[in-house]
Amino acid sequence: MTSGGNGVVWITGAGSGIGRALALRYLRAGAVVVGTARRGETLESLRAEAGRDGGRWHAMPADLTDLEATRAAVARIEAEIGPIRLAVLNAGTHIPTPGRSFQAGAVRQLLDANVMTVANALDAVLPVMLKRASGTVAINASLAGYRGLPLAAGYGASKAALINMAEALKLDLAPSGIDVRLISPGFVKTPLTDRNTFPMPFLMPVEVAVERLWTALERGSSFEIVFPRRFAWLMKLLQLLPYPLYFALVRRITRG
């Protein structure tokens, strides 16, 4: 895959954070980029931020929790801008879900924002990619989906669902010419993580994270893209621990 190749890069959740920084990186690389988010003004402001590269930027606001709106957005991209060669499904949010004040509504909101936006985007974009027998879909999950963490019963569950979804789709779609990639970030400095009041180990500047992500998407071949690597290896180690050791270690780390 090359940035200057034929086709469009479609990034959801492009209004801020990783999505916005990734859109700017692809524009610098010469790609035609379409960004989708709910608020059109956040997307339009990216054009000015992109400077001379802004001519290849296309804002496509849509509510991705609405399946028909998502299908319509993809149809417009394909008809008016070009075929989608890479879809980075990045839309999502974070809401703390502490056990002592657990609310089903918060979990529903997280599942809608983090899982159903991806499912709706897949519903819309996979048929056109399958028709062409080519394309790449990158699903942005989180290292928080590896195992349960304090205050993240809803968020972690939504990200675990995305990890499982990406793994299943990789198996299903590989024979069809569709490349499925999984993005598993740790803590990256964005407006979303700026809300956190707890220590964030190995916090990574968004520009550094996005450079690694762009390089992996364009030049790498591994299924999972992880960053920061040290935090990723720590979380992978936690996956291997039996429950008594896991719970004791996480309580100590988080002072829970």
> Of 72, 80, 84, 67, which is closest to residue 26 (Cα–Cα)?
84
Active-site residue among 26, 155, 243, 246? 155
Question: 115: which residues sit within 8 A by CB, 6+ positions away?
Answer: 158, 161, 162, 165
Q: Which residues of 159-186 are buried (b: 16+ CB within 10 A; e: fewer)?
A: bbbbbebbeebbeebeeeebbbbbbbbb
Residue 177 zone, left/alpha/beta (φ > 0; ψ -120 to 50; rest): left
Distances (CA, A) of 255 to 61, 153, 197: 41, 17, 14
Task: Assess whether 243 carries a catalytic annotation.
Answer: no
Distance CA 107, CA 116 (A): 12
* Residues identified as active-site: 155
